[in-house]
Amino acid sequence: MNKIARVLKKIVPTQQAGFKTPLRQSVEMLWLGVFYRLSPMEYRVFEFGKKGICKKDIRSYIRVYDAERKLRRTLNSRTWAPMLTNKLLFNSYFSQRQIPVAKLYGMFHPQFGTDIEGKPLNTREDLHRLISEKGLDQFVVKPLAGKTGVSVLVLQLVEKIPDDIIFEDRGGERYGLDRLVKHMSRTVEFNEQGFLLEARVINHPDIAKLNPSSVNTCRLVTFMNKEGEVSIILSVLRIGVKGKNTDNWHTGGLAAAIDPVTGVLGEGLIRPDFRAGGWHSAHPDTGAVIKGLQIPGWDEIVALVLKAAPMAPFIRTIGWDVAATPAGPVIIEANFSWGPMMCQACNKGLLTPEMRHEFAKFGLRFPS
């Protein structure tokens, strides 16, 4: 009964033309939630409430439950997970392998922080020294092991005064050295504490115009098959919204499918639990056209992730976040858990006959 009660609270039918009645959708969400372990949000995001959707259509999507409990547990080594989940390890490892990543300045931590040269980065004075020595007028602050854009600051220098340096984030908030130290010294919700300071990555103008307040990144999901061959199985562009530092879908951003061959975008999708939820051919804030836009340097982006993926051979499926920049692609981060809802919603599922065949080689079988 408790399971049913939890599902009931999250049941919100889609009331639009072309969808089944609210009662029918509610019954389906309840049934699929209790007996198929499909969340109401998956039902809404995948638009299973549309008229004409059948069991075969539903089985084209891997459930979040199966992605977490079966797919990743089988394909990805937990021993290697910190290479991706710990941003300091990720940056250090892949930069050493000549993979373009954001330039690292150091890690701030009240006890263990150091800059890239090994000098202490624990205090206000250490932070002042680093900013002054490097001449930093803009940089990014992010948690060592954060996700979904939590606690990320994108900072721009606005003023220098005696014994202080003032930066401003994209929301207009000002941060002096004391406030920055306080932000980076607090306990965050992740196991690893500490904050990275990295160079700000600038989008290619064609991508920046979609939403200039965030770095809008391509999410490419790679899969290494039993024979060791790497392919891209899902690809989307994530686009931020007005005033947001990041392009995260879970904070109201858009996601648009990228044609893996041409690099051309489909429509942008916002989660249904946000104000402008649904499909958009143009950005709701900027008006910039999304559908039909070609990702600049798409072939180079594809080549980069296909080069990087074999460098983490025991993590067979990875979600790479890559920024298209005027100087070429830069990998912002790589995801051990790459968000099956967002990627599948834009690409109409993952479980094609071909992918089922490849997964079966690992003993992975899903409802068909």
Q: pLDDT tens for residues 183-198?
A: 999 776 656 689 999 9
Residue 272: inside a domain, yes or no?
yes
Q: What is the pLDDT at residue 149?
A: 58
- On whether both 16 and 122 belong to a single domain, the answer is no
Q: What is the pLDDT at residue 219?
A: 98
Across the chain, what does the average pLDDT equal?
93
* Averaged pLDDT for residues 334-339: 92
Residue 123: inside a domain, yes or no?
yes
Task: Check pLDDT > 90 for residue 244.
Answer: no
Q: Which pLDDT band holds residue 144 (cuts at 50, 70, 90)?
A: confident
Nearest-angstrom CA–CA distance, 262 and 255: 17
Query: How many other CB atoms are there within 10 angstroms of residue 152's CB atom?
Result: 19
Q: What is the pLDDT at residue 7?
A: 61
Contacts of 37 (CB under 8 A, 6+ apart): 63, 65
Task: Check pLDDT > 60 for residue 24.
Answer: yes
Residue 63: inside a domain, yes or no?
no
- On whether both 220 and 136 belong to a single domain, the answer is no
Residue 293: inside a domain, yes or no?
yes
- On whether both 15 and 157 belong to a single domain, the answer is no
- On whether both 133 and 13 belong to a single domain, the answer is no
CATH number at residue 238: 3.30.470.20
Backbone angles phi, psi at 72, to 5 degrees: -70, -35
Nearest-angstrom CA–CA distance, 364 and 196: 37
Query: How many other CB atoms are there within 10 angstroms of residue 9's CB atom?
Result: 8
- On whether both 172 and 245 belong to a single domain, the answer is no
* Averaged pLDDT for residues 60-73: 96
- On whether both 323 and 349 belong to a single domain, the answer is yes
Question: Considering 182, 198, 214, which residue would you say is the last residue of a domain?
Answer: 198
Total tally of structural domains belonging to the chain: 3
Question: Considering 157, 177, 198, which residue would you say is the last residue of a domain?
Answer: 198
Distances (CA, A) of 32 to 40, 53, 67, 91, 192: 8, 14, 16, 41, 36
Residue 208: inside a domain, yes or no?
yes
- On whether both 185 and 211 belong to a single domain, the answer is no
Tokens representing residue 207 in the block: 């991508």
In 150-296, beta strands by DSSP E: 153-161, 164-168, 174-175, 195-198, 218-224, 230-239, 254-258, 265-270, 278-280
- On whether both 131 and 258 belong to a single domain, the answer is no
* Averaged pLDDT for residues 85-102: 95
Tokens representing residue 165 in the block: 């340096």
Q: What is the pLDDT at residue 172?
A: 87
pLDDT, greater one: 246 or 228: 228
Task: Check pLDDT > 70 for residue 70.
Answer: yes
Task: Check pLDDT > 80 for residue 135.
Answer: yes
* Averaged pLDDT for residues 149-173: 89
- On whether both 118 and 221 belong to a single domain, the answer is no
- On whether both 134 and 33 belong to a single domain, the answer is no
Tokens representing residue 261 in the block: 């061959």
- On whether both 336 and 229 belong to a single domain, the answer is yes
Task: Find the domain containing 263 and state its range.
Answer: 72-87+203-360
Tokens representing residue 279 in the block: 């499909």
Contacts of 3 (CB under 8 A, 6+ apart): 33, 34
Distances (CA, A) of 322 to 21, 163, 268: 40, 37, 18
Residue 151: inside a domain, yes or no?
yes
- On whether both 131 and 248 belong to a single domain, the answer is no
Q: What is the pLDDT at residue 326?
A: 97
